[in-house]
Amino acid sequence: MTRQRRYRPEDLATRRFSYEQDLGDPGTAPFTRGIDSDLYSDQPWIMGQYSGFTSARATNLRFRQLLADGQTGFSIALDLPTQVGLSSDDALAAGEVGKVGVPLNSLHDMQTLLDGIDLASVRQIRTTANAIGPIFAAMVIVCAQQRGIDPNSIRIMIQNDPLKEYIARGAYILPPRYALRFACDLVEYAVEHLPRWEPIEFCGYHIRDSGTDAYHELGITMANACEYLDELHGRGVDMERACAQAVLFLSADVRVFAEAAKFRAARRMWSRLVQERYGVSAAGSRVAIFCYTLGGSLTAQEPMNNVVRVAYQALAAALGGVQTLATSSYDEALGLPSEAAVHLALRTQQILAYETDAIESVDPLGGSYFVESLTSEAEERAGQVRALIDQQGGSVAGIESGYLHRLIADMSYSALQSLEEGSVTRVGVNRFVAGGDKGTRIEPARQSDGTDDALASLATVRAMRDEAAVKAALARLDAAAAGTENTMPALLEAARSYVTMGEMCAVLRRRWGRCQVTY
């Protein structure tokens, strides 16, 4: 988007900008300048990398190495069969086991995954579990209890946002309205029993990575958030506590000032939304932001250029005051990141935090005519996107009608056209393209098939578990799904009985149906 060459006070005046209402001090509503008055003064954001491959044992070793390197949190990448509720021995899982993440078939795999890790010392443990978020949570809870650890003493963040799967990522199982119910079961349970957990991330990252712009990323995220919060409000859940445990998950691209402004606008939008719609207090209207540098901007051509892209993206996140940051690895466009690439991605964050002056001041961009104009513009345009979705009846209705799918597909196509036509520059791809062998060539990391390890784990589980307990646990889950009972207690019993992911999801599919998307 073309910007003005100069910004002046009148640019803010035309938007009726008010310091008290639109900006304020860091740590005060509407939290434009950050959720803490002394952001990063004691320690930087939580640094974590998205990792998981082949097997629970191999992933455990990777996590241990990253923690030894100074990583302060980690994110568990699940393989596709796990994400869509299939056991590794399901015929539909063939060829995908352990390819893009770790297979997680049962409590046995969770025990292996977290073996030897001091869970209480890790600042945050995350996962992309969406359609199966509550099941993942149940496994973590039981695993902690078996180790004599209070589950509430560890910091868990679960994506648990299935609505965006239908329109941006594709790892869905149930019809949208049942997926919404299932996700909210975990949030409701966490509000009551796990107040230190962050049981849901309202996710814009994948929406952006599918080809939208920053305004649609933020607008669709807020519209999706309203669906979950409306459901929780209807159940009588304490909204002050529910909102306090929610997180926004957004991307960071290379347009440093625009991206930093987006994070500032996101906090302001959230603060106003939850106060006006749910009666949350001003002090309770703060929201943490988890940011991942935008993987879709990385290129297979001249992949070392991605090191520079990620550094600028990380800078945008730091200037925007995020609470958690994961940085992409330079070889992600080729396959699973190599160990060297993951190490460098972590070092990128550490250099930014400990060698530059980017975080010496809270909201260093605050008061800039340029950045404040961008922030107000982002809030206004994202609000317009959300209003259009409201006119469709909300996000769930927009998913069911295909409106949101078509909206994102059209924007993605336009973005691709812009790249191919050259109106958007991608260095090394459509401009300054190296001829011959001048571009750095990198061999992709080998993607192992984790089927053998996963099948061995399944065989171990089925040989040692009590089949009567399994049947009783599945019957209880079916009864909970058939009525209005929260499914979390039944899921905990199932996890404790070593019921597999595939077996639990099979019950839910039989009771609630399978999503059949047709547009």
Count the Cβ atoms, other than its own, within 10 Å of residue 109: 28
pLDDT surpassing 90 at residue 51: no
Q: Indicate the average pLDDT of the chain.
A: 93
Residues linked to residue 289 through DSSP beta bridges, in sequence order: 248
User: What percentage of the chain reaches a pLDDT higher than 70?
Assistant: 96
pLDDT tens-digit series, residues 78-92? 999 999 999 999 999
List, in order, residues 6 or more apart from 410 with CB less than 8 Å away: none
Confirm if 163 and 180 have CB atoms less than 8 A apart: yes
Of the pLDDT bands very low, low, confident and very high (cuts 50, 70, 90), residue 167 is very high
Of the pLDDT bands very low, low, confident and very high (cuts 50, 70, 90), residue 231 is very high
The whole-number average pLDDT for the span 215-229 is 98
The DSSP annotation for 227-277 comes to: HHHHHHHHHT--HHHHHHTEEEEEEE-S-HHHHHHHHHHHHHHHHHHHHHH
Give pairs for 229-237: CB < 8 Å, separation 24+: 229/274, 229/277, 229/278, 230/394, 231/180, 231/181, 231/184, 232/184, 232/187, 232/188, 233/278, 235/184, 235/188, 237/187, 237/188, 237/191
DSSP 293: E
Q: Could you give all domains of the chain from N- to C-terminal order, each with its CATH number?
A: 21-421 (3.20.20.240)
Of the pLDDT bands very low, low, confident and very high (cuts 50, 70, 90), residue 42 is confident
pLDDT tens-digit series, residues 270-303? 999 999 999 999 999 999 999 999 999 999 999 9
The DSSP annotation for 346-413 comes to: HHHHHHHHHTSSTTSSSSTTTT-HHHHHHHHHHHHHHHHHHHHHHHTTSHHHHHHHTHHHHHHHHHHH
Which pLDDT score is estimated for 234? Answer: 98
User: What percentage of the chain reaches a pLDDT higher than 90?
Assistant: 81
Which pLDDT score is estimated for 15? Answer: 76
The DSSP annotation for 40-56 comes to: TSSS-PEEEEEE--S-H
Provide the 3-class DSSP secondary structure of residue 326. Answer: strand
List, in order, residues 6 or more apart from 377 with CB less than 8 Å away: 15, 261
Which pLDDT score is estimated for 436? Answer: 57
The whole-number average pLDDT for the span 166-188 is 97
- Burial code (b: 16+ CB inside 10 Å, e: under 16) for 207-231 equals bbbbbbbbbbbbbbbbbbbbbbbbb
Which pLDDT score is estimated for 281? Answer: 98
Which pLDDT score is estimated for 32? Answer: 97
The whole-number average pLDDT for the span 245-266 is 98
Count the Cβ atoms, other than its own, within 10 Å of residue 127: 27
pLDDT surpassing 90 at residue 115: yes
Which pLDDT score is estimated for 440? Answer: 62
Between residues 200 and 11, the one the model is more confident about: 200
Provide the 3-class DSSP secondary structure of residue 431. Answer: strand
pLDDT tens-digit series, residues 313-365? 999 999 999 999 999 999 988 877 888 998 999 999 999 999 999 999 999 99
- Choose among 507, 445, 421, 456: nearest CA to 100: 445
- Choose among 376, 404, 377: nearest CA to 389: 404
Element (H, E) at 317: helix 305-319
Confirm if 83 and 131 have CB atoms less than 8 A apart: yes
498: which 2 tokens? 């070593």
Confirm if 371 and 260 have CB atoms less than 8 A apart: yes
Which pLDDT score is estimated for 382? Answer: 98
Cis peptide before 134 (omega within 30 of 0): no
pTM above 0.85, yes or no: yes
Of the pLDDT bands very low, low, confident and very high (cuts 50, 70, 90), residue 69 is confident
The sheet with strand 156-158 has its strands ordered as 156-158, 124-127, 73-76, 46-51, 324-326, 288-293, 246-252, 200-203
User: What distance in Å separates the CA atoms of residue 189 and residue 134, rounded to the nearest whole number?
Assistant: 10
- H helix intervals, 444-487: 451-464, 467-482
pLDDT surpassing 70 at residue 2: no
User: What distance in Å separates the CA atoms of residue 311 and residue 333, rounded to the nearest whole number?
Assistant: 16
pLDDT surpassing 90 at residue 449: no
Antiparallel, parallel or unpaired: β 200-203 and 156-158:
unpaired
User: What distance in Å separates the CA atoms of residue 370 and residue 471, rounded to the nearest whole number?
Assistant: 62
pLDDT tens-digit series, residues 390-407? 999 999 999 999 999 999
At position 185, the amino acid (one-letter code) is: D
Between residues 512 and 9, the one the model is more confident about: 512
Antiparallel, parallel or unpaired: β 124-127 and 156-158:
parallel
At position 117, the amino acid (one-letter code) is: I
Residues linked to residue 74 through DSSP beta bridges, in sequence order: 49, 125
Which pLDDT score is estimated for 439? Answer: 55
Element (H, E) at 201: strand 200-203
